[in-house]
Amino acid sequence: MGMRFVKRIPPPEEIIAQLPVKEEVKALRDNRVNEIKKILRNEDDRFLLIIGPCSADHEDPVCDYIERLAKVQEKVADKLLIIPRIYTNKPRTTGEGYKGMVHQPDPEKAPDMCEGIKAIRRLHIRAITEYGMAAADEMLYPENYSYLADVLGYVAIGARSVENQQHRLTVSGVDLPVGMKNPTSGDITVMFNSLIAAHSNHSFIYNGWEVETTGNPYAHAILRGAVNANGENIPNYHFEDLIRTAQEYLKLDLPYPAIIVDVNHANSMKRFYEQPRISKEVLYSRKYDSLLKKMIKGLMIESYLVEGRQGIGENIYGKSITDACLGWEDTEKLIYYIAENA
């Protein structure tokens, strides 16, 4: 048999019982989620900023980063709502490489998914408890959502997952804002189909149960650029791309249409230092056109304490071990610029 069953993963209720959330922390998280929903409903004109490391690798530098974000959030609270990225599940194109804290709570040790699930729950709880910031995470494994459903502020569906039926159907039962990326091919029809599925009600199998969902009106689009048949990166953040996407999006007649622009990945051609320039171009397009002003609700940015990336084992505190990120100094400058120009 080609599959070895290593160990039983405890069910969500068991992990949640071991790592419960205090009522006051639940209230903080619920309030943050409601603020995000108000922005998506056009009841709050603040701009969303989903920002943080490509992957959460170690708890201490991630929390150091979030602490700095929280201090900046206080200064720009009237203009921006900042959602820290705590991405603990990392998709890998070939299956090789670091797959996130859920797989390896210590990147230099062997995978231990049972301990990984506990580690990521502790990290998300700490972000809310100590810094008042409910974070974003990527849904790599739909079943893992149940372990974090009470502590997340935002969920992202990646470019490789957005075509998967289980992801789409699971999102239809998630009571959170969920951003769904365009696929790596760049075909926005695929992204729109995923949104239609996420907004609809469904019956399906989830975690050993037959479940029914009522649809998620807060599922929305994330534009992250594309890769063509020759492996070349094709951005989709330019004015013409944004207008075309917005106009086609409106034809779907979904509640609360919204676009987040991911300024890294294929949009930056993996050149992390281009993120400030791209952010400024998107903000200009948003100012120029009233439809874009209404529909572009935020930006997604990859940043960490130290710019660039490193290999596993180099142990530079606060430097990404996956995609290269902006460093803190440039991040802070960019946040203040966005606050003044959004």
Task: Determine what percent of the chain is predicted with pLDDT higher than 70.
Answer: 99
Domain extent, residue 27, equals: 13-341
Sequential DSSP letters for 164-181: -HHHHHHHTT--S-EEEE
Residue 302 β-bridge partners = 52
Measured between alpha carbons, how far is 321 from 310 in angstroms, rounded to an integer?
Answer: 5
> Is residue 4 a part of any domain in this protein?
no
Three-state DSSP at 261 gives strand
**What is the pLDDT of the chain when averaged over all its residues?**
96
Residue 99 is predicted with a pLDDT of 86
Residue 114 is predicted with a pLDDT of 93
Residue 92, pLDDT above cutoff 80: no
Whether 159 contacts 181, CB under 8 Å = yes
Residue 90 is predicted with a pLDDT of 80
Copy the structure tokens of residue 306: 């130290």
Over the Cα atoms of the chain, what is R_g?
19
Using alpha carbons, select from 93, 92, 111 the residue that is nearest to residue 101. Answer: 111
Residue 238: CB atoms within 10 Å:
14
Residue that wins the pLDDT comparison between 19 and 100:
19
Confidence of residue 215 (pLDDT cuts 50, 70, 90): very high
Whether 223 contacts 262, CB under 8 Å = yes
Whether 258 contacts 300, CB under 8 Å = no
Whether 197 contacts 168, CB under 8 Å = yes
> Is residue 83 a part of any domain in this protein?
yes
Residue that wins the pLDDT comparison between 27 and 94:
27
pLDDT (mean) for 310-324: 94
> Is residue 81 a part of any domain in this protein?
yes
Using alpha carbons, select from 163, 230, 213 the residue that is nearest to residue 190. Answer: 163
Residue 321 is predicted with a pLDDT of 94
Measured between alpha carbons, how far is 238 from 258 in angstroms, rounded to an integer?
Answer: 17
Residue 94, pLDDT above cutoff 80: no
pLDDT (mean) for 182-200: 97
pLDDT (mean) for 13-19: 97
Whether 322 contacts 90, CB under 8 Å = yes
pLDDT, tens only, 139-188: 999 999 999 999 999 999 999 999 999 999 999 999 999 999 999 999 99
Residue 262 β-bridge partners = 300
Return the CATH number at 323.
3.20.20.70
Residue 289: CB atoms within 10 Å:
16
Helix (H) / strand (E) element for 67: namely helix 59-75
Measured between alpha carbons, how far is 272 from 264 in angstroms, rounded to an integer?
Answer: 6
Residue 1, pLDDT above cutoff 70: no
> Is residue 6 a part of any domain in this protein?
no
Measured between alpha carbons, how far is 145 from 307 in angstroms, rounded to an integer?
Answer: 30
> Is residue 8 a part of any domain in this protein?
no
Q: 301 exposed, middle or buried (CB, 10 Å; 0-12, 13-18, 19+)?
A: buried
pLDDT (mean) for 296-304: 98
pLDDT, tens only, 51-71: 999 999 999 999 999 999 999
Count the domains in the chain: 1
> Is residue 224 a part of any domain in this protein?
yes
> Is residue 164 a part of any domain in this protein?
yes
> Is residue 79 a part of any domain in this protein?
yes
Residue 132 β-bridge partners = none
pLDDT (mean) for 105-111: 89
Measured between alpha carbons, how far is 242 from 82 in angstroms, rounded to an integer?
Answer: 22
Residue 93 is predicted with a pLDDT of 72
Copy the structure tokens of residue 84: 């820290």
Using alpha carbons, select from 260, 171, 187 the residue that is nearest to residue 222. Answer: 260
pLDDT (mean) for 212-234: 96
Q: Which amino acid is at 63?
A: C
Helix axes 275-288, 239-250, angle to 10 degrees: 60
